[in-house]
Structure 1
Amino acid sequence: MSVGLSLAALGIGSQIPLTLLATPLWVLYGIGCGTIAMGCWVLAHECGHNAFHPNRRIEGVVGFLLHSALLVPYYSWARSHSVHHAHCNHLEQGETHVPPRASSTLGQITEQLKKMLNPTLFGIISLFNHLVIGWPLYLLFGATGGEDYGFPTSHFWTGHPFANGQRNLFPEAFRKLMVRSNIGCLVMLIFLIIAAMHSSALRVMCVYGLPYLVINLWLTTYTWLQHTDQNIPHFSNTTWCWAMGALQTIDRPYGPVLNLLHHGIGSTHVCHHVNSAIPHYNAWRGTALLRQRFPELVLYDATPIPEALWRIATKCGGAVYENPQDKAYYY
């Protein structure tokens, strides 16, 4: 379904005229095609968790092809994402959307910026940083990565200047798989260049680039809202444990259409962190069982997504402060 609909949407995009009058059509196309193709991203994500198919070779091929087509270094990202699952909401060893502490240099800068700007402007900047440039910055430089891995880190190279933390996010033994991931992305880039030569660079930028931006927007929206809010704690080495970290995950209401297209990734995420090997089509039953048996542990926020996104952008865009009572860190 995801691949078929994505290819159909790309076919429609190839027929839209490259004129200013067609701008509204291009906007609708980018939103529609990117939203549909996000389903392919989610399925490749399941392959990285060994939740797609019992045959690991088939699973690896599907995940590698889908993610490479979306310019995602499949094996490298699967590695960093497994670190995220192993150390969820861990300030030192966590990955993706790890907030800076108020005592850190980055934390002090963001808090000063937050005080200088009005909430609306700060929220707009926060949304842009996360939804537009956040994903490329994470892949290229390790933005919002855990403290122990240092900055920068890269999903494309393990050597200098990227391996300068207390821990290596990508050990030297991982380099072969990283190179394989890089080759997949390079082949896709070559394909896009050839397509631009046969049609035009503008056509490729519109047909491929617009959905690509929307896919990145959906990806960062999901991951940001899954692990961030004012009442969600982040833990240091002294207080973190796996269960506490995994359960600081929030299920949110994305509605039947998005849940169908994106395989429920935002509405069954607590279950996904409890056991990431559960396929998406079984995560609904797993979520129902978790909510039935442990209602006080499964977090759910019914706030509409746009409202929750704006609240988190304005209220949670800065640093986290340590709470004296539980020694956890909150925005």
Structure 2
Amino acid sequence: MTIASSEFVGEITAKVESKSNTPTLPPGTTLRDIIKTLPPEVFVKNTPRAWLGVAFSLLAVGLGYASIAFAPWYLLPLAWIFTGTALTGFFVLGHDCGHRSFSPKLWVNDLVGHVLFLPLLYPFHPWRIMHDRHHNHTNKLGEDNAWYPFTAREYAEIKPYERFFYRLIRGRFWWIGSIIHWAVLHFDASIYPERQRSQVRFSAGLVIAYAAIAFPLIIAFGGIAGWVNFFLMPWLVYHFWMSTFTIVHHTMPDIQFKEGDRWNAAQDQLTGTVHCDYPAWVEWLCHDINVHIPHHISTAIPFYNLRKAHKSLQENWGEYLYTTKFSWELMKQIGDKCHIYDEQDCYRSFKQAGF
């Protein structure tokens, strides 16, 4: 993973110190207007290409587990990193299933999504329902559920233990954010509408049953060390990427969240979403999930068409796109600044906000 150059660090620091400078779309611009500028072929589902993605991820994960099995102890961290990153590819493919962009057939999307999510212990339907809400209310205060930033008033009103975890994931421990999100929001059917609770219970029950079978088997053949090597460490790497991708997608010191009466789908889906370049091996294993702006323009675009759609957006809407590059310095800037949401400055640190 590349450390930012001094020029890039300076660029990021300049962004951190500025207020929101997001350009405003021409009056009357709608999301449909943006979608119409995309080539029609980016919306076309290619079933062989989708299954090729599954085959690629299966091969990569298999190689990862083989590397864990045969690597000497001093190379295990590299094997964990590779395997966990490859498992993130499972999530990305399941993500397309959740948006129904993997297959034209609903039952195929549900089946493949559940199967790919099982090794991650991720309940498919609860995630799908929550994620749809995120897309419908991206960067909307009081509605979005992905890395939602507390205002000073909201932070002051939450319980002490909630403040502890909020401070944790909004700082240098951002990488456990998706673990907390997974544990709190994806197993409790009571927080979902009544009509969706049976789906939530099914997916959560399937994950629990999988763990009840897989964990004892892993421990029986490899002991606790085997469980740590083959499940826990790759799973933590997977969540590192889940947390990193998702926080960077919508959290920058100069990207606004807005109240509902000021929120505009075209403006806030296009300019409130971040394109971030990662090392090539990460992008390959994770099926270009970092090419995220087209996905917020339309969830109907399959993963293998994201780059073509992004190129079109660059040609037609380039001045409105927020692009950056992954680095540890970038994550430090987000972790040091993006704490308490402020309408004027977008974000203030806990210290600046008086906490």
* TM-score grouping bracket, smaller chain normalisation: 0.7 to 0.9
1:69 matched to 2:69: no
Alignment of 1:26-37 (within 5 A): 26-37=76-87
Residue 88 (structure 1) aligns with:
138
Identity %: 25
Q: Deviations over 1:53-110 (max 9, x none)?
A: 1122122111110112210011100110010001000111111101000222348999
Q: Distance in 1 between matches of 2:335 and 2:175?
A: 10
Gaps of 5+ in 1: 115-121, 142-153, 164-169
Residue 251 (structure 1) aligns with:
275
**2:141–2:258: 8 Å Cα contact kept in structure 1?**
yes
Alignment of 1:113-128 (within 5 A): 126-128=171-173
1:315 matched to 2:301: no
| Secondary structure, counterpart of 1:300 in structure 2 | strand
Alignment of 1:1-331 (within 5 A): 1-16=56-71, 22=73, 24-106=74-156, 126-128=171-173, 130-132=174-176, 134-141=177-184, 154-159=185-190, 163=191, 170-190=192-212, 191-247=214-270, 248-266=272-290, 268-301=291-324, 303-316=325-338, 318-323=339-344, 329-331=346-348
Alpha-carbon offset, residue 192 of structure 1: 1.6
| Secondary structure, counterpart of 1:320 in structure 2 | strand
Alpha-carbon offset, residue 16 of structure 1: 4.5
Assess, with a 3 A threshold, how the Cα gap between structure 1 residues 173 and 124 changes in structure 2: closer, same or farther. Answer: closer
Q: Deviations over 1:38-65 (max 9, x none)?
A: 1111111111111111122122111110
Assess, with a 3 A threshold, how the Cα gap between structure 1 residues 176 and 29 changes in structure 2: closer, same or farther. Answer: same
How many residues are matched? Answer: 287
**1:43–1:52: 8 Å Cα contact kept in structure 2?**
yes
| Secondary structure, counterpart of 1:88 in structure 2 | coil
Gaps of 5+ in 2: 1-55, 349-355
TM-score, normalised relative to structure 2 = 0.75
Assess, with a 3 A threshold, how the Cα gap between structure 1 residues 313 and 123 changes in structure 2: closer, same or farther. Answer: farther
Assess, with a 3 A threshold, how the Cα gap between structure 1 residues 108 and 93 changes in structure 2: closer, same or farther. Answer: closer
**1:234–1:330: 8 Å Cα contact kept in structure 2?**
no
Residue 167 (structure 1) aligns with:
none
More helix by share: 2
Q: Distance in 2 between matches of 1:263 and 1:199?
A: 31
Alpha-carbon offset, residue 259 of structure 1: 1.7
TM-score, normalised relative to structure 1 = 0.81
- Of structures 1 and 2, the one scoring higher in RCO (CA 8 A, sep 6+) is 2
Alpha-carbon offset, residue 305 of structure 1: 2.6
Q: Distance in 2 between matches of 1:26 and 1:67?
A: 24
RMSD: 2.3
Report the more deviating stretch, 32-41 or 216-225: 32-41
